[in-house]
Amino acid sequence: MPITVADRIESVNRQSNVRTSDFFHTMDTSDIDFSVQAILTSNLDTVVATYGNKYIIKNIDTSPISPQYAGSGDIAIYNGTEWVVYKSVQNSETNFGLVYDKNTKLFYQYDATNGWVALYVRKNGTIDGGTFG
């Protein structure tokens, strides 16, 4: 039997209904940017060094940026001075949330087996995955 969010979250008297032992938690995401400018696939990709811009590095050997300690699949961010690793998916990461690619206008999820996988939502509401090239 599928579990839906509506089955687990009550909006009435929310403060007393949300406990640390609950499986679902709420959080304010209004100041969190889950997006990246693009996925860097070759050294010919255009990169804009503006504070806060983030990129997924598909292959560190062919990326136009190579922050120190970065690996393929990592997310790099420009801190106003240099490119640094924003999120590393190396070693211990098996799955990592979602990011929205402003360039392709697709959502991607990191999977340790397949890397960054695009998620496609069909009309019937199912989600299919596909790798980017």
Tens-binned pLDDT, residue by residue, of the chain (133 aa): 444 444 444 444 455 555 555 555 555 555 556 789 998 989 999 999 999 999 999 989 999 999 999 988 899 999 999 999 988 887 655 666 678 888 888 888 887 788 888 887 655 555 555 544 4
List Cα–Cα distances, 81 to 11, 18, 48, 86, 100, in angstroms. Answer: 43, 41, 13, 14, 24
List Cα–Cα distances, 122 to 105, 117, 125, 127, 129, in angstroms. Answer: 15, 16, 5, 6, 11
Please report, for the chain, the start and end positions of each structural domain, with discontinuous segments joined by +. Answer: 35-131
* pTM, two decimal places: 0.66
Say what the alpha-carbon torsion angle 54, 59, 64, 68 is, to the nearest 10 degrees.
Answer: 70
